[in-house]
Structure 1
């Protein structure tokens, strides 16, 4: 078997490749952005006005029919700390559950009884659903 690879000695390299050292700044900036987003998600949000079941149902139905994004604030699980709104596209409803497709493609199931406030919203990017 004939090998056609030409191995250049390290002292003749035009660029000194440091391997993974090239990527450390990129990895650090991604990690910092992830940690910043996680800290933002953990911050309690202000309470939005509580909506009636009929108003929630109407808004969800309109968003489903017109394929609009919704931002949903859930009832607090403890004390009065509200988590950030859940944003997604309504893809279905069944047996008291609402199925949302998040902008990253993931699916989320919410119970209608847990919804405090729902509103239609615009996507941040033109290519998002």
Structure 2
């Protein structure tokens, strides 16, 4: 069957009225599992909210840090800084590797005393306790 310009345009417009476009839904089957996992991870990270912990006085902070150093316990430190979404960053968790007059070293990261909002002794979860 041969169509001229006018009849082809008319046929196209009629087909367009009947056809329901599923937009992105039709492309979901083409995603690989690692792409889907990355998308899900990104959604989880974006929806994660770090709650504000109570502001501690410097004496309280010093007491908890001294206890952690003496007993060789890991600490969890919430910094006073906020990210671009006005939410708190993830806590800095780890063993205290050293300290000086300005701050403490947790792993390879230096945390300044004046940046600490809250600190607590952290309890590691054993692999046998994980579900």
Q: For this structure pair, what is the TM-score category when the shorter chain's length is used for normalisation?
A: 0.5 to 0.7
Range that drifts further, 80-89 or 107-116: 80-89
The answer as to 2:104 corresponding to 1:98 is yes
What's 1:55 paired with?
Answer: 60
- Structure 1: give runs of 5+ residues left out of the alignment: 1-23, 102-106
TM-score by length of 1: 0.60
Which protein is richer in helix relative to its size?
Answer: 2
Partner of 1:36: 41
- The structure with more strand, counted as a fraction of residues: 1
Secondary structure in 1 matching 2:65: helix
Task: Write the distance in 1 (CA, Å) between the matches of 2:37 and 2:96.
Answer: 31
CA displacement, residues 51-84 of structure 1 (integer Å, 9 cap, x when unaligned): 0001101101110111111111000246842111
CA distance in 1 between partners of 2:96 and 2:40 (Å): 28
Residue-pair matches, total: 96
1:24-68 Cα deviation digits (max 9, x unpaired): 97xx39x93797279538844111000000110110111011111
Say yes or no: does 1:83 pair with 2:85.
Answer: no
Unaligned residue ranges in structure 2 (runs of 5+): 1-31
Q: TM-score, normalised by structure 2?
A: 0.59
Residue 114 of structure 2 aligns to a residue whose secondary structure is: helix
| Larger Rg, first or second structure (1 or 2) | 2
Say which SS state the counterpart of residue 82 (structure 1) adopts. coil
Provide the alpha-carbon RMSD of the alignment.
3.1
